[in-house]
Every structure is written in C-alpha cells, then in structure tokens.
Amino acid sequence: MCDEQKKNNCSCIAEILRKILMLQKQDFDNECHAGCDKPFLGPVCNSICYNTRPFMLYNCCTGEPWSFPYTINGVTNTSTVFRIESLDDCCCTCRILYLDPTTNQYVATTEFFTIDLNCVGAIKCLADIFVDVC
C-alpha cells in the first residue's frame, strides 16, 4: 500500500481519467490541446475513427506498471494496457486490452478490474485507437 501521506491524493490522475472517459463517450468540447487531456480522440479534432485512449498505470510504491491477467482462447497472460470504463471518486474500473501479435494492434478483452487510484503514482497515455467493445 502507498505511504499514508499519499492517501486521498488521487485527484490528479482521476481528472485525467475523467477527461478520457468523457472523450470515449464523445462528450467533449473542441478545444485544441496535446497530451493525456487532449479533448478529442485521434490526430485531429474532427476524427471519428477512434473510440479509446489506451493507457498504462504505474504503482505508486514501486514505480512498476500495474499488470492484470486475462484469458483468451484458454490461454492466460497479463497486460499493462487498459481502457477506462467508469470512474467513481478514486475508484476506476478498466477493461484489459491486449496486443494481438498477428495484427500488432490492441484488442479489448471482456475482463475488467477496479483499482484504487491512491495506489497509482503515474499514468502513461498511448496513441488513440479503435477497439471493438461489444
């Protein structure tokens, strides 16, 4: 667990994830920015071919990426890349994404986890993508 002084200090990462969640739901303004809080998915403001801003979360104590298991076709592996699905204060529910070795693209799994953002020290956003989330 993180040091007690880091507890209840998730607001920075939660705000970034809240913005990403709004973008994925297409609930955004047309400001132009760069980085994790860029207010649109894709390379330009009018792009509609993206529905996900994948990201990695880093453990606040060790600095290592959080990884979670998933199973595809009976084979279990782990992934460090996720898609936000919901956010409630400092609790974030994410879908696990995995890199398909045949296409070299991320694919959505049907597996989720919820993490306490007080245990997250950093977030790294990856390039916007389209994933089938049905």
Sign, CA torsion 114/116/120/126: positive
Share of the chain above pLDDT 90, in %: 66
pTM higher than the cut 0.75? yes
Give the up-direction half-sphere exposure of residue 69: CA atoms within 13 A in the CB hemisphere: 5
Pairing of strands 120-125, 105-116: unpaired
Give the pLDDT confidence score for residue 22 in this predicted structure: 87
Q: What is the pLDDT of residues 95-129, one digit of tens each?
A: 999 999 999 999 999 999 999 999 999 999 999 99
